[in-house]
Chains A and B, each alone.
Chain A
Amino acid sequence: MYEGAVQNLIDELGRLPGVGPKSAQRIAFHLLAAETADVHRLVNALVAVKERVRFCAVCGNIAEETQCRICRDPRRDDTVICVVEEPKDVVAIERTREFRGRYHVLGGAISPIEGVGPDDLRVKELMARLSEGRVTEVILATDPNLEGEATATYLARLLKPMGLKVTRLASGLPVGGDLEYADEVTLGRAFEGRRALDF
């Protein structure tokens, strides 16, 4: 145990995800040794993130205004919505530069163990957006794990009566990898999802 302020800092850092007691101690002493200006910059960044950043009123992505950058962009395609779990998934898909439609961030996935049901996700907001009638395709891009699949199934069933095109991202082999390194489940999925080559 250290004197008051240092121990407080270690305790606070230790509550962050991925930071154990040893790492918390290292970061605390790093900050103790750092320039005051550097620490102030970190403090300001922390405060700013809580004060300035909010969630987009339309899609739920991170935004600094009422709407996020993507929702404000008039060049994006209004007829396609890609549904993801977290804002970081938006960033991942944006990096591909393949997708020019809009997003909808659910804020998680259905997981009864963690007490997360559909009401805890931004499902109502999605339904409201779809009822406006401009959207023709919904891409379900939740994580390819059990909870993500369950969420996708749930949404697919909910959307079915609306007569929209509902698609799910494919799962299979990573591009540029070796077949031999793929695990059995991925390889099995890739077999199931194989397609005919037409030339």
Chain B
Amino acid sequence: MHVSHLQLADYRSYEAAYLELEPGVSTFIGPNGQGKTNLVEAIGYVATHSSHRVAHDAPLVRRGAQRAVIRAAVVRHGQTALIELEINPGRANRARLNRSPNTRMRDVLGILHTVLFAPEDLALVKGDPGERRRFLDELLTARAPRYAGVRSDYERVLKQRNALLKSAAAQNLHHRGGRDLPTLDVWDEHLAQIGAELLAARLALVAELQPLAAKAYGELTATQDPISLRYRCSATDEELDTTNRPQLVEILRAALLRARPDELRRGVSLVGPHRDDLQLWLNDLPAKGYASQGESWSYALALRLAGFELLRADGDDPVLLLDDVFAELDAERRRRLASYVRTAEQVLVTAAVPDDVPQELSGARFRVTGGSVERER
């Protein structure tokens, strides 16, 4: 798939912008702070309904404006879908698909698929487990939108259960072994059931990612350094080698039972997919703490590339967004990354200086200055 048109109104630094894009590589060049990242952020927003830079929508609206509008024409299988998103901070966002006003936000989610590489990706390797859980969950949702529902159900169970634990902790009920909390059993069961569904999906995903990430890392770095993705489940000290849901439900149930005294004392849920981590290993050492800056960065890229390969294998090339990633790499790795991504149907690249972009990625070139975008001829 590819984006053929992008129009922005009052989005970040853009009062109005209109771009025509083609399949293949397009490069956006301009000094810092001119709005390059805003362009790829907007395209990413069309795909995921969230920004990779901020958790809330308010910063996406140009200062002084009431709302921001993103319009994108997405071509897939020869069909064009026109997606319009109106971002209203503090109120419900609105969507239109092919100019039909009766469109729900979730109807336009999943039409465009993107894989974004950004400097923030370094947090995949160096950051908290939450970053890696989000990486897995976003990939799950992109492949099967059903998991958006599973994730929100799980969040809801967690909220309810934590509320119950908190009030129990306040009343010191754990002195009696929590016998006064028959409803906790019920929430345990729901956490185990929904948690196991999420867990099974994540484990299956990690198993699929492993060979792809290892291959991508090898090609990026031209090394034989083995990498391994190890899913650490908060419910057990052992490595899980099953994606069988009933079995995972059992494991979660048992762990919840063990953790109950602790949970009642502290008033929070301590077991479940929300406490899991995806450990990244390099040369039999955890990458976090042991890997160099360059290795960490290559590792993060390899994870994103593995995600790209998976989405691609599902049938349709996602649009690749490379936001300022070349500046961090040496010439050799730039070239390798370039030859890797060149095969995608559409690649959008941002860079501060043209020299950062390897020759392999020649294509349409846009100049970004002060909130305007011009194509170079």
Question: Which residues does A use to contact B, with CB under 8 Å?
Answer: 110-113, 115, 117-118, 146-147, 149-150, 153-154, 157-158, 183-185, 188
Contacts and interface: CB of A to CB of B under 8 A. Distances in A.
B98 interface: no
Contact of A110 (B156, B167, B186, B189): B186
Nearest to A111: B160
B212 to A, nearest CB: 26
Interface in B152-176: 153, 156-157, 159-161, 163-164, 167
Nearest to B185: A157
B377 interface: no
A150 B149 contact: no
Nearest to B154: A146
A1 B229 CA distance: 62
Nearest to A152: B186
Contacts of B359: none
Interface in B190-210: 190
Using C-beta atoms within 8 Å of the partner chain, give the interface range for chain B: 20 to 34
A184 B149 contact: yes
Contacts of B146: 184-185, 188
Contacts, number: 49
B149 A185 contact: yes
B32 interface: no
B33 interface: no
B160 A113 contact: yes
Interface string B175-192: 000000011011101100
Question: Main SS of chain A's interface residues?
Answer: helix
Nearest to B162: A112
6 contacts: A112-B183, A150-B160, A154-B183, A157-B186, A158-B182, A185-B146
A147 B160 contact: yes
A191 B167 CA distance: 38
A149 B183 CA distance: 12
Contacts of A158: 182
B145 interface: yes
A110 B156 CA distance: 13
A147 B167 CA distance: 17
B190 A117 contact: no
B149 A118 contact: no
A115 B167 contact: yes
A146 B187 CA distance: 10
B183 A117 contact: yes
A153 B149 contact: no
A184 B153 CA distance: 13
Given A146-B190, A150-B183, A185-B149, 14 more contacts: A112-B161, A112-B164, A112-B183, A113-B160, A146-B153, A149-B190, A157-B182, A157-B185, A157-B186, A183-B106, A184-B145, A184-B146, A184-B148, A184-B149
A161 B182 CA distance: 15
Nearest to A158: B182
A54 to B, nearest CB: 28
